[in-house]
Amino acid sequence: MIETCFNTSITGRAVKNDLITLKNINIRDFAGNKHMKVDDYPYGGGAGLVMQAEPVYGAYDHTAGLIRKKRFITGLKTNLPVRVVYMTPRGETFTQKKAHELAKNKEIIFLCGHYEGIDERVLEEIVTDDISIGDYILTGGELASLVVMDAVARLVPGVLHNDESAVTDSFSDGLLEYPHYTRPEVFHGKRVPEVLLSGHHARVDEWRLKKSLEITEKIRPDLYEEYIKRHTR
């Protein structure tokens, strides 16, 4: 699932051009039993199964070792621990601000849970960031991790053809993005706003900010109020 989605379109091109490296680690490979079983019934009873600590830690230890080896080969001198992101409904809600924070890291491990979750003891030992993409439940952490991976990857220099796109995205300045238009000038009787055809960059910027404020106030009043507070201090 991860390889199929990530190795297509913009992120796929980034992988092909060595701007990003993707490596999938199957936790089942570290199960330590012939049936490759990685789950068991929860202590205390309850519905569902829980992923065991041993195979999860084994997969992490193997992956962290690969990262340490790569750091040594490339001469990257750092003692910083590897960032381990666990996709979980109980994590902090993922935002563009968090994407920028994660994009500063050279390596990130994404841990994808299944069933009722993962044994808490291994999470306490290896996870640095608990992240949720929303108040709903998926069948596994892969789709959620892909959302975060895509948001982070597009902030890596060179991934987007125009790096300015990442700067003007929604949420980058705390506002939702302004409307966009392209040819033709008239579509179904609707004309492109005159100011965008004027060539007057200051007026265009003013119009775009005004529209961003209007859209944000209407759709996300919480973001609008926070933006106004920051800019009136």
Q: Which residues pair with 20 in a beta bridge?
A: none
At residue 25, what are phi and psi to the nearest 5 degrees? Answer: -120, 125
Average pLDDT, the chain: 94
pTM: 0.88
User: Helices in 43-160 by DSSP H: which ranges?
Assistant: 53-74, 96-103, 120-126, 142-153
pLDDT at 58: 98
Closest to 176 (Cα-Cα) out of 219, 225, 229, 134: 219
Domain assignment of residue 116, yes or no: yes
Does 87 share its domain with 124? yes
For the chain, percent of residues with pLDDT exceeding 90: 86
Domain assignment of residue 103, yes or no: yes
Degrees to nearest 5, angle at CA 103 with 10 and 109: 90
Q: How many domains does the chain have?
A: 2
Active site residues: 89, 116, 154, 169
pLDDT digit string (tens) for 138-152?
Answer: 999 999 999 999 999
Domain assignment of residue 32, yes or no: yes
What region, left, alpha or beta, does residue 119 occupy, with left being phi > 0 and alpha being psi -120 to 50 degrees?
beta
Domain limits for position 206: 170-230
pLDDT digit string (tens) for 8-26?
Answer: 999 999 999 999 999 999 9
Domain boundary among 98, 118, 153: 153
pLDDT at 167: 66
- 110 touches 85 (CB < 8 A): yes
